Structure 1
């Protein structure tokens, strides 16, 4: 493991393999969350299911106790964008719930998020989710060795702006990840290409667009965690952890490593 400027952590191939183990735990936990999220279940019950699965997989939840956070997942419903505390809230038909999950294996972190529709939701909400997830993949696909971090940011923003009138949160970003869940560099979801730290082999980043049906403005609730839209509009959030290999991008939290989606976008797959 080496360090670049600004404290950026560069992983060896063996360390990336360890991160893949953590990433697979996260990916499988989120698939369990996708199948478990339904009308009538509470976000606290989802949290208990996730924690049991993470620990049974030989991993530790990244979120539990992180700066005092009480849950093993973040569960953010409707106008809650990110960092929702799981608890007694019961999901209802028509809700959107963003589920963010992290796991640690042998000191290495994985971090990813999905947004799930509970029962039937409107076409507008399906479009919001689709645009947000596609923007994440466009950002990952824009990463090339020798490029810059803001190449990712620009690709995310371009896709969102070309897909409708959405708000892109600016106060919350993606991030570097490795021996800590949050490391330099920040990965904003907007901006011009060609700026920021260089993209190199062994750099691991979490890309996570947070997109609203309204404006980019947000507020934090009195619990000091839950971020909500200032205008009450609903939001979606997707996230994956990826790294760059000599062959291309490898999405460490995707069960197939990102091979299918990267192939659809016409970029090389760097996993194994």
Structure 2
């Protein structure tokens, strides 16, 4: 069921979104060559706990996963598209890192993701990240009352096609509110003018995931969570929680 939020509820979600933004900022700030992924997870956990919020990913158990998720962040490195579990891996020079974070505050969820490099970046990685962020902005710009879900997906896919990047067709964005994942599904591809009509008060997590190799196929890691590109090419992920309002898209996951 698609839920419509009131202005007061959007304000409450904005506060949850601020905490997610702070956790991501702290994570990016501390990410460097030699830092372990589980150390970054601890940093985000501290930010969320200090704010009186609750991690949204920890112990989350969707139908596709064999076990509950064991961490606060999803940290996906290089060829991991999404859902990488932070472990004792130490970041290496030139790694491309995608960090996804979710939190609940007073019963409302926020969800956001960012990609970046550590050490000396590869130009191709910077171009991939830039395209993914541009796709996110394009998807957000399409999130206006009266548009349709296909307009968001088409805007995202157009950026991918222009750059020759692949997009994950099985995973995408989602509605968000009292639960981190609500209806509707927000695909990263679509036909303009098709799909669900976007209404004021609808809140979506819009999240393009681009693959450098152009191949949208993937394999699932032995842990049942991490999705790797089949050809070993690198991936990037960008996400914001966005409310559809009469005044235009309202991004809820910024500081």
User: 1:91-125 CA deviation, whole Å, 9 max, x = no partner?
Assistant: 01100111000010011000000011011111111
Task: Write the distance in 2 (CA, Å) between the matches of 1:99 and 1:49.
Answer: 12
Kindly indicate whether the alpha-carbon contact (under 8 Å) linking 2:132 and 2:236 is maintained by their aligned counterparts in 1. Answer: yes
- 1:50 maps to 2:49: no
34, 37, 51: which one pairs with 1:40? 34
Query: 1:146 offset after TM fit, Å?
Result: 1.1
Query: 1:191 offset after TM fit, Å?
Result: 1.6
Kindly indicate whether the alpha-carbon contact (under 8 Å) linking 1:128 and 1:213 is maintained by their aligned counterparts in 2. Answer: yes
Query: 1:14 offset after TM fit, Å?
Result: 0.8
Count of matched residue pairs: 248
- SS where residue 192 of structure 2 aligns? coil
Task: Write the distance in 2 (CA, Å) between the matches of 1:62 and 1:115.
Answer: 19
Kindly indicate whether the alpha-carbon contact (under 8 Å) linking 2:144 and 2:245 is maintained by their aligned counterparts in 1. Answer: no
Q: 1:1-272 alignment to 2 at 5 Å?
A: 7-67=1-61, 68-162=68-162, 164-214=163-213, 215-255=215-255
Task: Write the distance in 1 (CA, Å) between the matches of 2:193 and 2:27.
Answer: 36
Query: 1:194 offset after TM fit, Å?
Result: 1.3
Structure with larger RCO (C-alpha < 8 A, sep 6+): 2
Kindly indicate whether the alpha-carbon contact (under 8 Å) linking 1:37 and 1:116 is maintained by their aligned counterparts in 2. Answer: no
Query: 1:230 offset after TM fit, Å?
Result: 0.9
- Residue matched to 1:258: none
Task: Write the distance in 2 (CA, Å) between the matches of 1:41 and 1:74.
Answer: 16
Task: Write the distance in 1 (CA, Å) between the matches of 2:148 and 2:246.
Answer: 16
Kindly indicate whether the alpha-carbon contact (under 8 Å) linking 2:149 and 2:190 is maintained by their aligned counterparts in 1. Answer: no
Q: Which runs of 4+ in 1 moved over 4 A?
A: none
Kindly indicate whether the alpha-carbon contact (under 8 Å) linking 1:24 and 1:254 is maintained by their aligned counterparts in 2. Answer: yes
TM normalised by structure 1 equals 0.90
Task: Write the distance in 2 (CA, Å) between the matches of 1:159 and 1:99.
Answer: 21
- SS where residue 161 of structure 1 aligns? helix
Task: Write the distance in 2 (CA, Å) between the matches of 1:39 and 1:219.
Answer: 27
Q: Structure 1: where are the runs of 5+ without partners?
A: 1-6, 256-272
Kindly indicate whether the alpha-carbon contact (under 8 Å) linking 2:111 and 2:241 is maintained by their aligned counterparts in 1. Answer: yes
Query: 1:239 offset after TM fit, Å?
Result: 0.4
